[in-house]
Structures are given as structure tokens and as C-alpha cells.
Amino acid sequence: MTTIFNFELFKKRLNLYLTKIKALGGETDPFTIAKPATEAEVKAVEEQLGYTLPPHFREVLLEDTAHLDFYWSIYEFLEKNEDFLPEGLVEIFRGQLLFGLDLLLDYEDDRKGWVKEVYSDYNNEYDRVWHNKMSFHQVGNGDYIAIELEPYNYGKIVYLSHDGSENHGLYIADNFKEFLMNYATIGCTGGEDWQWEPFYTEGKGIDPTCKNAQAWCKVLGIDLKELEG
């Protein structure tokens, strides 16, 4: 699968998953894509944050959408069809991606709250992962998907766990645009780490070419060619 950013292809992939999930009788929410943000709107948020947004994230907000909301669930379907998913994928029951300029300050307030109250020790290896990040997707269980702001690995996509997951601090994409393209190819499973973990390959992050990704598409009736441009 290509990781060259193409917003139209990105949307095509997400819409394809919604179609397949609906065909199964699963639950889907309206796929929301707001208009792009203005430079003034982005700068206003940057002033409150105290830094310039990472370039790939900033470009998506300005060129493609200021707010995106994507969600599906097959939880109830799987309760009635327990053997539907193959081994290795049985933990998957939903997909979600929610980010936006309008959400960023609240997400960052929450992350900073975790840092202040729980993970304040920068010299502690686990705590340090929570520092100097920009959280853009709230998983819902207290975890976050974020962008690295440390000079080393700046711009990479990293998982923040609040409860000791082995995936805490794991880099799952080299940048925001790569994350969007690869995550869309697997239907944005999760965002809990134990739902996207079957698609993780060391050194690659979320890997839409791995065997589990191929098995996932097959079980949903998705031809891999449908996911290409």
C-alpha cells in the first residue's frame, strides 16, 4: 500500500469500510469532514499552545479538514457471530478516528493533567513519554494518540497509555499523513492499542501490508485493489 498522502484516497478507504460494516449490519456514525481551517484560526490555537503545530498536522487542517469524525462498531454483530473473525483479530470490534482544531486545546489540557497529576517525573522512563507531545486523538479509556514534539523523533505518531500497556511510547507512524493513510487502510481499528496491535510491524508501525491486514480485509470482503488509488 502506498503511504503517499492523498486525501481523496484516504476518504475513499474510510467510506469503503463504512459500506462493508453497514452490509454486515454493524453500527456506523455519519462520516463528518469539516471544511479546512483558516490560517488565522490555526494561529489562534498555536498562540494558546505556545508553539507551531507539527507541519503535516498543520497542513491537513489548512488544506483538507479542520475536523474529522469517523466511527463504526461490530460489537453486537460479533455477539451473534462469535466465529466471524479469524484468530489474531478476535479483539477487534470497532474503528474510530476523531481529530480537529476545535478539539486540540481540550485534548492537550487532558494530557497536561495526566502529566501534572500522575506522570510528572520527566526522568522516569514511563512518565517521560507523556511529556512534550501533542495529543490529537482521545482513545476514550484515558489513552491518547499523539505527535512527538521532542527534537529526537519530532513529528512521529506515538501511543500514550495511562495504565501500563506495553505499547506505551510505541511509534506507530513516521508522521501524521502517513498515519492517516495507513490507519485508514485498516479501517481505523481501535483506537485502543490492543485493537490496532495486530497490524503493528516493528520498524514500520501500523503496517497495512502485513498478513493480519490482508486477513482483516478478506474477512470483511474488501478487495485490496479497492484500497488503492
- Domains of the chain with bracketed CATH: 7-227 (3.40.1580.10)
Count other C-beta atoms under 10 Å from residue 208's C-beta. 23
Using CA of residue 202, residue 226, residue 80, residue 72, what is the dihedral sign? positive
CA distance 156 to 150: 10
pLDDT at 227: 87
**Which residues 6+ apart lie within 8 Å of 215 measured at CB?**
86, 88, 89
Let me know: does 157 contact 147? Beta carbons within 8 Å: yes
CA distance 53 to 30: 28
Tell me whether the omega of the peptide bond preceding residue 50 falls within 30 degrees of 0, making it cis.
no
In three-state form (DSSP H/G/I as H, E/B as E, the rest C), the secondary structure along 38-79 is CHHHHHHHHHHHCCCCCHHHHHHHHHCCCEEEEEEECHHHHH
- Hey, what's the cell of 227? 484500497
Task: Give the amino acid at 97.
Answer: L
160 - beta bridge partners? Answer: 144
Let me know: does 112 contact 99? Beta carbons within 8 Å: no
Closest CA to 155 of 64, 63, 11, 58: 58
- What's the whole-model pTM score? 0.96
Closest CA to 91 of 216, 184, 223, 183: 216
Kindly give the confidence (pLDDT) of every residue in the chain, 229 residues in length, as a single tens digit, with 9 standing for 90 and above: 445 899 999 999 999 999 999 999 999 999 999 999 999 999 999 999 999 999 999 999 999 999 999 999 999 999 999 999 999 999 999 999 999 999 999 999 999 999 999 999 999 999 999 999 999 999 988 899 999 999 999 999 999 999 989 999 999 999 999 999 999 999 999 999 999 999 999 999 999 999 999 999 999 999 888 888 6
